């Protein structure tokens, strides 16, 4: 089998040997930074043991994650009940059923307790993979029942290897490498959104040089367009990778980090937070 995931040779070898010996664990916790390829690795593992890709129509594969398209930021007990129902069925094609919980740290307390019961009574031939960049937010009773596999960020050589396969201009190549910070998963997304990334970085320059009225107007625009989470992330990635060349980059990053924590929580007034932060940049 050819892995689609780049790198992670040790993790691949370990799980290939476990699969060959029919000694896969019933539950894994994949940890590491966001967007470095953990979910793709889990899908590759499914393909390795079942001989089929983990598509949305695959009857032995289930992916659970916060329903961001519905403005949800949590994974609820109803999702875990669906998981339990799915796990109770025998594999359709087999030999294994896979359940992936992406952003598992977003489980509500009720969902966490329900998941714990599933882990305490594992179903034969069902593999559960929890994926998280914030595993410390998971219940210790959950993490203790999973086999931990850590994924480190890719080095620059791996990023360049991936980027060299794409037909990008030298300028786009350099820009995305500087923003990736070891995350091939982010690069895969970014190569399809280069124009938007460049526009958002141009907006940052205008904001930093603009008047208070300009900043207020821009906060209103990105709030109403609902593009502010992605815009903010692009700004932070770029500033972090180019902080030595940007005046006051550390101060701006500190303000943006604070804003990032606020907009990750729906109970706060995001527009007010945007306005206050942009005024103080």
Residue 274 has pLDDT above 70, yes or no: yes
**Of the candidate ranges 19-33, 59-73, 83-97, the one whose mean pLDDT is the lowest:** 59-73
**In this predicted structure, what is the pLDDT of residue 51?**
93
Instruction: Pick the more confident residue, 246 or 126.
Output: 126
Over the stretch 112-147, which tens digit does the pLDDT of each residue have? 999 999 999 888 999 999 999 989 999 999 999 999
Q: How far apart are CA 197 and CA 24, in angstroms?
A: 40
The answer to whether residue 54 scores a pLDDT higher than 80 is: yes
Look at residue 31 in the predicted model and tell me its pLDDT: 95
Give the pLDDT confidence score for residue 61 in this predicted structure.
Answer: 97
More confident site: 244 or 106: 106
Distance CA 42, CA 49 (A): 11
pLDDT-based confidence at residue 263 (cuts at 50, 70, 90): confident
pLDDT of residue 69 exceeding 70? no
**Rounded distance between C-alpha atoms, residue 250 and residue 5, angstroms:** 33
What mean pLDDT do residues 192-220 have?
Answer: 93
Query: Between the CA of residue 93 and those of 49, 59, 60, 97, 104, what are the distances in Å?
Result: 12, 8, 7, 9, 27
DSSP one-letter string for 222-261: HHHHT-HHHHHHHHHHHHHHTTTTSTTHHHHHHHHHHHHH
CB atoms within 10 A of CB 164: 9
Q: Is 167 helix (H, G, I), strand (E, B) or coil?
A: coil
Relative orientation angle of helices 156-163 and 170-180, to the nearest 10 degrees: 140
Q: Residue 279: is its pLDDT beyond 70?
A: yes
Query: Does 265 have pLDDT greater than 90?
Result: no
Q: Are 115 and 146 in contact (CB under 8 A)?
A: no
Residue 70's pLDDT is what?
63
Does the pLDDT value for residue 154 go beyond 90? no
Mean pLDDT of 63-72: 78
Stronger pLDDT, 67 or 224, i.e. the higher one: 224
Residue 257 sits at φ, ψ, to 5 deg, of: -65, -40
Confidence bin at 33 (pLDDT 50/70/90): confident
Which pLDDT tens digit goes with each residue over 156-193?
888 888 888 787 888 898 899 889 888 888 888 898 89
């Amino acid at each position: 089998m050819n892995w689609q995931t780049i790198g992670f040779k040790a993790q691949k070898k370990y799980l290939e040997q476990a699969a060959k010996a029919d000694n896969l664990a019933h539950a894994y916790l994949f940890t590491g930074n966001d967007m470095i390829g953990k979910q793709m690795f889990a899908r590759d593992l499914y393909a390795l043991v079942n001989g089929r890709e983990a598509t949305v129509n695959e009857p032995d594969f289930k992916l659970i994650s916060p329903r961001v398209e519905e403005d949800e930021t949590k994974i609820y007990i109803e999702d875990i009940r669906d998981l339990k129902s799915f796990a109770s069925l025998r594999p359709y094609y087999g030999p294994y059923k896979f359940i992936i919980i992406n952003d598992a740290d977003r489980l509500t307390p009720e969902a966490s307790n329900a998941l714990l019961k599933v882990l305490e009574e594992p179903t034969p031939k069902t593999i559960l993979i929890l994926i998280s960049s914030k595993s410390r937010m998971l219940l210790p009773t959950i993490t203790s029942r999973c086999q931990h596999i850590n994924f480190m960020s890719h080095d620059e050589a791996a990023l360049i290897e991936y980027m060299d396969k794409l037909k990008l201009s030298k300028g786009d190549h350099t820009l995305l490498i500087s923003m990736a910070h070891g995350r091939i998963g982010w690069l895969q997304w970014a190569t399809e959104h280069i124009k938007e990334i460049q526009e958002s970085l141009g907006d940052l320059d205008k904001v930093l040089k603009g008047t208070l009225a300009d900043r207020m107007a821009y906060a209103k625009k990105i709030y109403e367009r609902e593009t502010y989470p992605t815009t903010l992330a692009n700004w932070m990635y770029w500033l972090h990778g180019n902080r030595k060349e940007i005046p006051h980059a550390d101060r701006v990053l500190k303000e943006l980090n604070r804003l990032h924590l606020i907009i990750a929580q729906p109970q706060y007034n995001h527009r007010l937070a945007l306005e206050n932060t942009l005024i103080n940049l």
